[in-house]
Amino acid sequence: MTTPAHRTPESDPILGDGRSSPVASPPNGEGNPNRTSRHVTRRIAERATTEPRLVRWALIAVALGFLGAFVVLPMAAVFATALQKGISTYIDNIKDPMVLSAMKLTLIAAGIAVPLNLIFGLAASWAIAKFEFYGKQVLITFIDLPFSVSPVVSGLIYVLIFGLQGWFGPWLNEHDIKIIFAVPGIVLATIFVTFPFVARELIPLMQAQGAEEEEAALTLGASGWQTFRRVTLPNVKWGLLYGVILCNARAMGEFGAVSVVSGHIRGLTNTMTLHIEILYNEYHSVAAFAVASLLALLALVTLAIKSAVEWRVKQQLRSARQTVIEREAT
């Protein structure tokens, strides 16, 4: 039987590899009527299961054009404007003391938010993935909540609690503790917006892996902590890294939530994104884009690591599912 729907890579350069046949196409032997008719059959079948070449090229052009206009162009604009007045101006713009202190604050906020959310992610995924209990789905939905809240509202909720008009505002004021319009508020807002990142990467991965390996380790005499460190952590390390990278990118790039709680005090409560806004609004656009280019670089690095790690995460997930299938087969 022929496999009419499969187009070989040789016959078509742009067909997806997922659908190409591993068998090389037979050479188009002109003297062989059987082969020619098979070739014709294949051509007819191809027409029915993929698009005409013109349509394919047009779709690729549309997709690349769309991404070019919306993704590549803004990135190019950032770097081109940042370097508009030469490399020495660029370096001066970045070495500005206000920029350096903004960088420091961004690093502090991310440096506190990411580890805290990492610990939470590990605890939540252990509880959710390794145990069966009622209300699990509700808990997962609650963990995802911060993703669906507007950044501005994410900042506002802390103003309403710790601000002067808020629940604890008067008490904090009496004791001279500043949270809103100070660093703690910025850290809190950053924690909120990056809250689900690690947990939502780990939960599905650990759920797919099940608890059998941990149970085996315990039966062999490992302590709970040893089991976690030697069995669970190595099994989820790529998913963990993936979540941490995304969490960090968002923590360093957050703008709306931080803007509400910051108070915009230069050199004190200005993160990098807030400083970009100030520079831009004061018409120092080259300086604004210089700072922006650093964050754009961070985004590119994040994407590079993410793509590198992604297939490993998928592999871990696939091997976990494979184990489940094998277990059910026996």
Find the binding residues for other proteins in span 199-218 (CB under 8 A). Answer: 211, 214-215, 218
Q: At closest approach, how far in Å is the CB of 31 from other proteins?
A: 30
Under 8 Å CB-to-CB from 312, ≥6 apart: which residues? 238
Give just the sign of the alpha carbon dihedral 98, 104, 110, 112. Answer: negative
By CB under 8 A, tell whether 63 contacts other proteins: yes
Q: Pick the binder of other proteins from 59, 91, 177, 265 (CB under 8 A).
A: 59
DSSP 325: H
Kindly give, in sequence order, each residue whose CB lies less than 8 Å from that of residue 50, ignoring residues fewer than 6 positions away.
7, 15, 19, 56
Cα→Cα distances 195→142, 180, 246, 262, Å: 11, 19, 11, 19
- Residue from 135, 283, 328, 330 binding other proteins (CB under 8 A): 135
CB neighbourhood size of 121 (10 A)? 26
Binding to other proteins (CB under 8 A) within 139-178 occurs at 139, 141-146, 148-153, 156-161, 163, 165-167
Stretch that binds other proteins, among 34-42, 43-51, 91-99, 320-328 (CB under 8 A): 43-51
Q: Which of residues 110-129 bind other proteins (CB under 8 A)?
A: 116, 119-120, 122-124, 126-128
Site for other proteins in 89-108 (CB under 8 A): none
The binder of other proteins chosen from 24, 31, 33, 134 (CB under 8 A): 134
Query: Applying CB under 8 A, does 254 fall inside the site for other proteins?
Result: yes
Q: Which of 288, 312, 283, 310 is nearest to 99 (CA)?
A: 288
Q: Which is nearer to other proteins, 32 or 76 (CB)?
A: 76
Q: Segment 65-84, which members bind other proteins (CB under 8 A)?
A: 66-67, 70-75, 77-78, 81
Closest CB 68 distance from other proteins, rounded Å:
9
Residues 273-302 interacting with other proteins (rule: CB under 8 A): 273-274, 276-277, 280, 285, 288-289, 292, 295-296, 298-300, 302
Task: Categorise residue 135: left if φ over 0, alpha if ψ from -120 to 50, beta otherwise.
Answer: left
Toward other proteins, which CB reaches closer, 39 or 195? 195
Query: Cβ contacts of residue 178 below 8 Å, gap of 6+?
Result: 172, 184
Shortest distance in whole angstroms from residue 293 CB to other proteins: 8
Minimum separation from the CB atom of position 176 to other proteins (A): 21
Give whichever of 25 and 285 is closer to other proteins, judged by the CB atom.
285
Q: How far is the CB of 198 from other proteins (least distance, A)?
A: 12
Q: Can you say whether the dihedral through the CA atoms of 261, 265, 270, 273 is positive or negative?
A: positive
Cβ contact 136:128 at 8 Å: yes
Q: Which of 239, 148, 145, 146 is nearest to 190 (CA)?
A: 146
Instruction: Return d(Cα 282, Cα 288) in angstroms, integer.
Output: 9
Q: What is the CB neighbour count within 10 angstroms for residue 293?
A: 20
Measure the CA–CA gap between 95 and 158, rounded to whole angstroms: 33
Choose, by CB under 8 A, the member of 22, 24, 34, 133 that binds other proteins.
Answer: 133
Structure tokens at 110: 């991310």
Does residue 224 touch other proteins according to CB under 8 A? yes
Using CB under 8 A, count the residues that bind other proteins: 112
